[in-house]
Amino acid sequence: MTDTTAEPMRVAAVQMTSGASVDENLRAAAELIGIAAGGGAELVLLPENFGLMGLHARDKLAIQERDGDGPQQAFLARMAQAHRAYVIGGSVPISCDDPARVRQTLLVYGPDGARRARYDKIHLFRFTHGDEDYDEAKTIVAGSEPATFAARCGRVGLSICYDLRFPELYRALGNLALIVVPAAFTARTGEAHWEALLRARAIENQCYVLAAAQAGTHPGGRRTWGHSMFVGPWGDLLDVRADGAGIVAGIVEPPVIAEVRNKLPALQHRTLGAR
C-alpha cells in the first residue's frame, strides 16, 4: 500500500573522498550539503565514514563520540537547521561498552536541527582477496534493530553499506517510499555488485533508493567505488556520479510508486514472511 498523504520531495546524495582529517572532511561535506540544498534538496544523505577514512580501521576509536555529544553530531544538527532540510550522516562512530570497538551509527536530523532517528549498522563487512583484508567486527559492535523515519515523501528506511546485501532487512522495514544507503564499498566489490544490488532493492521493494558513496583512494591505499546513485521504483537509474566529489539528486514521487505497485502488485502477492 502507498501512503496517500505523501508528497513529492527532492533528495540528494553527497559523494566524497574522505581522508584522515575530520575538520577537512566536515568542511568538504558542508560545501556539498550547501550545493545540494541550494538545488532544492529537502533531504541530503552523506556517505558512510564521511567524517574519517583513516589509515587504519581502528583510527575511528580516537574520534568516537558519546551519543548526543560530539563534533560530528553537532555538525549534522547545524547543517540540518541551517538548510532547513533533513541531513543524514551516513555513519558516526558512537561509543559503546566495549573500549576496543564502537557502534557504526547513522543519524538523521530534521529541518529544525533535532535528531529524528538513529540506526546502528547490523551487518558487518568481512572480505579477503589478495592484499585486501577487511573485518569490521574487530572495531565495530553490530546493531540489532532496524529503523525508519517519516518524511514528507513517506517512510524512509535506513541502512549502511554491507546491509545492502541482505534483502530481509528491507522487508522488515515495511512499506517504504525511500531507502537510503550510505556506503564505502571497496572498488573490487563495488564494480562487481554495487549497481545490481541497489537496483534489486528498489525493484523488490518498489520504492526509490538513494545511495551516497565514498569514491577514490583514501589513506593507506584503500580504494572505494563511488557511483552514488538515485534509483526509481521500477529499477531505473535516475542519476549517478561515477567518480569524484559531487552530488546526485532527484525527486521521490509517490504517484510513481503507486503506479508501479498498481501495475505490478508484487508486494501484495507476498506469501512467505508477509505482514
Active site residue 161: yes
pTM: 0.96
- What is the set of domains in the chain, with CATH numbers? 9-269 (3.60.110.10)
Query: What single-letter amino acid sits at 224?
Result: T
> Catalytic residue among 48, 65, 136, 253, which?
48
The set of cell numbers assigned to 49 is 565514514
The set of cell numbers assigned to 8 is 513529492
| Surface-to-core class of residue 260, CB atoms within 10 Å of its CB (0-12 exposed, 13-18 middle, 19+ buried) | buried
Question: Which of 66-70, 184-188, 254-258, 270-274 comes out lowest in average pLDDT?
Answer: 270-274
> Catalytic residue among 42, 60, 121, 207, which?
121
| Surface-to-core class of residue 3, CB atoms within 10 Å of its CB (0-12 exposed, 13-18 middle, 19+ buried) | middle
Place of cell 533533513: 86
pLDDT at 272 over 90: no
Give the pLDDT band of residue 132 (cuts 50, 70, 90): low
Estimate the crossing angle of helix 71-83 against helix 22-38, to 10 degrees: 20
Give the pLDDT band of residue 224 (cuts 50, 70, 90): very high
Q: Which helix (H) or strand (E) holds 75?
A: helix 71-83
Active site residue 121: yes
Q: Give residues with Cβ within 8 angstroms of 142, minimum separation 6.
A: 120, 121, 122, 123, 124
> Catalytic residue among 60, 65, 161, 253, which?
161
What is the structure's pLDDT at 134? 77
What is the structure's pLDDT at 127? 81
Question: How large a percentage of the chain has pLDDT more than 90?
Answer: 91
